[in-house]
Structure 1
Amino acid sequence: MEFRLLGRVEARSGAGPVDLGPARQQTVLAALLMDLDRAVSADQLVLRIWGDRPPQRAKDTLYTYLSRLRRLLPTSPAVVRRLRGGYAVTADELTVDVHRFRDLLGRAWNAADDETAVNLFRQALGLWREEPFAGIDTPWFNTAREALAKERFAAELDCCERRLRLGDHAALLPALSERSAAHPLDERIAAQYMLALYHCGQQAEALAHYRHIRATLGEELGIEPARDLQRLHEAILAGDPGPDDDTRSAPTSVTTMATPARTASAPPWSVQCQLPLDIPGFVGRAQAIRCLEQKLTAPVAVPVVVSGPPGVGKTALAIHIGHRLRPAFPDGQWHVSLSDNGERPPRSPSEVLSALLRASGLSPSVIPDTLADRAAAYRSRLADRKVLLVLDNAVDAEQVRPLLPGTGSVAVLVTSRSDLRGLAASHTADTVSLDVLPRDEAHTLLAGALGAERVTEEPEAAGRLIELCARLPLALRISAANLIARPDRPLASYADELARDDRLSMLSVAGDRQAAVRTAFDHSYTALDPAAARLFRLLCLHPGPDFTPEATAALLDSDLHVAEHLLDRLAAAGLVQHTGTDRFRFHDLLRLYAAEHAATDPERAIAWRRLCDWYLATVDAATAFEDTGSARLPRTRHASRRFDDQRYAVAWLAAERAVLVALIRRITETGPREIAWQLADRVRSAVDLATDRGEQSPALTRALNLRPTEHRASTANAAIAHVDAPSEEASPIERKETSDQPHLWTPSSLT
């Protein structure tokens, strides 16, 4: 099956066109096809499909479209899948015309001869039927359409370049005449048009066109033509420009670069590789590497932000990618550290621009004084050069924006603990989010750092160590370094010590403050504003595997929109992860870190009580629709209008099942005990509604045993639904979430 996005959204199989359903459903498919094989969250899909004005129950409508698309493509090579973090279409990228277009362009640029390159360019440009996503009008698709149009324009100019070298001047002349009229300030087009005119015997017209663009540049921008265009003019005057003159060095668009006046004595370019040492034996991240390579080598690259929690390996990945792509950027690979993780103030854009201008070969004496002038000179120096710029550890979007080049030939890779979503709004930047490593990649990393033989000798201890490090690359490498320093120490002994003692303190290298997990977390935590820091501390009180904005609002004693806003800030900072529709989670080590800070928070006891009260009231509301047949203890029920439909109540109970089990265990241990038995009494009804298990639950039994004596007789023979042990049909995730694991932190001081 083939998918067509360079025009109206279409699909074709061997039997002919495929009916993709209503227009909005086609938009969902197009949004997924643009990010082939990569998860797109439900929130991102809603934004792409409806913009900033989604309808009520937009996600329900989205899920309907996704379900229909799954049925529509059940046996085709393209499959709609639910992945961790969102939805994706899995297919061969060459079956989607957008990706085939980019593949052909990459092959054309790397072609050994002009004739082959022209043939590939023509194939790529021939895929365009009309403007991409015709008929779809949302901000995200409009931005994507503009980016593709720029890629097409660059391909047309490159194809024209090759055809001129092949002597195709006469055939190109009419199109170049129209193109130069449409882009009167584009010096590269002017150079191509002048060459075609000259080789068609129109020397006077070629010289006249130079006078015209020179006058236009002077009137509109107050500058002279670039030196390359001046040299072409001089060659035409002398009657010897040569058939193979290369016009690629002429700037693509003077208006987009805001270049200052240029002179014939422009300093030479200095090619530099500033990349730090690549990590030997870099492990994993295959999907991220493939995605980054595709984005950074696109014909017209947009900035790419690599974000994720502290210690997840953002810088290591960026440096690794930089070394892999060195051949693709012959004009240099620059690396700039924008901050020192709180050790010193972040570097100002003006300071960085000065350093980069010097690196390009510019004398310090001619570097402008103001930020705006430095940025203009910087864009001019980079114009149309193939440079990779790695901006490491950016603090915010404002620090990055002045450092962005003016032409798409320069690839920009930014790493940041924040997702820098403001760059997506202002510069259509893409984001690649990193999470902790999968278990197999974490095992490979540990074996590579510590030695495969040592890991193989103690497979169970190695697996336990990986989980105690929460599969965080920094923690794994620190553990490996500590074990290398003590070659005779068993892995099991080290893992036991991590589990028994202060784990965060042990995950450090003695004498090196930067080689410490706690230090990495400190930099992110201290950058939070007070409201976000307060939420980060209190979230460790939540005992479940994940949490919702509603539960967060109960912890904070705030409105829902306040909780959502603060969770969004923590997610942007990489301190919590957005796991699905309106659900968030901590990584284990971050939960430990938050618990350290919560230990001295005077608000923790009252926040814990608020959370317990909210869950009891919400469970009361969710189980208020009908009698399930389970015996219920006599007590006063909490009033709530949380659910107006039993279907939503049952769905909430199913989604919160693991949380409720963990909450009952925690309350049974620490209190308030009067809530423990009431919640357990309601949850056994909740399990009847949400599941079909009838075995006895030790957790519920322990909680119900806390009820007052006068209530015990009324339920002496009550059947207690089992919610601790998952059935054989339960998923691995469900079994993991409901296993009887020790709590990372117990608020023992709350009772």
Structure 2
Amino acid sequence: MEFSLLGPISVTTGSAELSLGPAKRRSVLALLLLQPNTTVPLEQLIDSLWEDEPPEHARTVVQGHVSRLRATLAEGGAEAYGIELATHGSAYLLRLPEELIDAHRFGELVALARPEAAPADAVPLLREALGLWRGPALTGTVTSPPFAAAAHALEERRLTAVEALGRAHGALGEHEQAAAILYSAAVNHPLREGLIAGLMRALFHTGRQSDALEWFHRTRRLLNEELGVDPGERLRGAYEDILRAEAAGGGRTGAARPAGGARGTGGASGGTPSGGTSSSGASSGGTSSGGGRSGASGEGRSATGSGARPVDGTAQAPVQGSAGSDEARGDAGAAGTDGTGQGTPGGSRGGSGSGRAGAPPRLLPRPPARFLGREDQLAGLTDVLTDGTTGESPLAVVAGPAGVGKTACAVQWAHLYAGSFPDGQLFADLRGFGEGDEAPPAEILRDFLLALGTPPERVPSSAQAASALFRSLVAERRLLVVLDNARSSAQVRPLLPGGPHCATVVTSRSRLDGLVATDCARPVGIQTLGHEEGAALLGAMLGPDRVAEDPAAARELVDLCDGLPLALRAAAAQLTARPRWRLARLAAALRDERRRLALLSAEDTGIAAALRMSVARLSADDARLLSALATSADGHLNASLAAALAGYDPERTQDGLDRLTEMHLVDEEATDVYTISTLTQLFARDERGEGGESDTGGSGDGS
């Protein structure tokens, strides 16, 4: 149920609008909505409804309107929304969540916008706020002075938001948009000097100096003729700045004076004036290693984040990600803090609407079970996410092939340093390489905003506005965001926090070069396991004695699994289900290439399912190229051989190889030296042999 004051008075529930009756009944409702959750005396209602002397039966009339409103709201299901129209002696109280009133939502969005400090975020917030207006405020109420004054106050707030939108567009250099929206408002309010000053500056920045100066002289004449006053300092300041810039031969007013001072800048938006993995860390392979097959990563040692420092630079004991443990515990920060040490009282009005009362969000999945090693990658993440030299929100991208343990590494680091982010940890599976469609940014933003305490009714409908609201809410917080299983840079950008105390970790099978280019993301590569690390993982899963009795078979299993943690975990699951099997027996079974992919699957997860999700994201040309590469005898080839196998011309082949490398389906070991892993070859051959349909399924993507 929603209540509208910013236009015709109305109440809607679902897609239906309730019938409110005559003007006086609408006026009673409007007055109660203007003072929500506050008792309104009957005498105030009577004084507001009748401009002249009220009739003798005025009290009865008001009581009748209240009775009918109560019945109408009840018919619309008011109780389900927490709405009650109560009588308190000779006064009335409309009790309801204030976010159901459009004027309240408008005020909250405007309060969150920071046109000078964060203009890119302020623009969608202010547009969302102004989009709530459907005409002159309080349309349909009686024409008495109290309602005229209330409508005027709301209109003043709207114009202030228009001016703020103008300043935001101006700060972004979008002066044409600023001129358009300010022009329309200035025509309707020719004596509002702040609007005129903003319009003058916007026009001057677009090269229309004469139009800008004409607006000044026109407004000066109107002020003198209608009010008998001269222009104020803001209007004079804009005029003088333009004259000085012209005298200096510049085409712009230069650095505008602060909008908070006497001489505000202008700007606005509009047209032209006429005159946008896996679902948990544990399932993603859990164990990871750096250093590829060289064994450099030390996968066989327990990860404690050694050599890495907490994000805030203070000494702190890390949270261990031991097998089967719950999420990181401890009071990572007092509930209700705003990231600056200042508490926000629960239920306070006029705040950001973030709903900070209560515990900060802790959305991380469970720590990955049997996580070992990856010290190099954990230290690399710490280096990226603790870099305070830029004054920007740090961003790390953990990229690697399917099943290598990207999610596990990111989630492990997040648990180790959760205490460094006392305002919460957010996690989202972007489903970039999962079954079905990838997660749209609007869906993830809604989840984040709800987790941060934003009531559902106040979550913006557009992804752009929701993104701006998210950045505004977390601007001063110490918050960690983990975005798992991203498909593209475009999917990630709306989800990035902007505050310098926030940090973001993204995992993807793609390198996400776009984020590196536009957001200075720093990559943290993650490779397959060497023999020592792979054997350590098998030992952690099966018990060290079982691996120690046949170390040669353990090494062979690592090779047959291409050193992928996901494949090794699936192999360990096969051996766990068959306690009498020696490792050599499973190795013998895996040597049969026709069975290998099926054996390296475990219920809803497996390497075939993970690879399928990667291949499903390829174009038809790139999928055919991968299938051709799979016919290579030893998995090593150059561009010329790849072109011959695929029947493509050299340029088309090179472009395809570059895309497959970016997706980690092939690896460029050196210039024009490409390799394709055995498991990827087997999968691509199966797909080719079965017309693109493989029966080795499972739904987990093991990213």
Q: TM-score, normalised by structure 1?
A: 0.45
Higher helix share: 1
Q: TM-score, normalised by structure 2?
A: 0.48
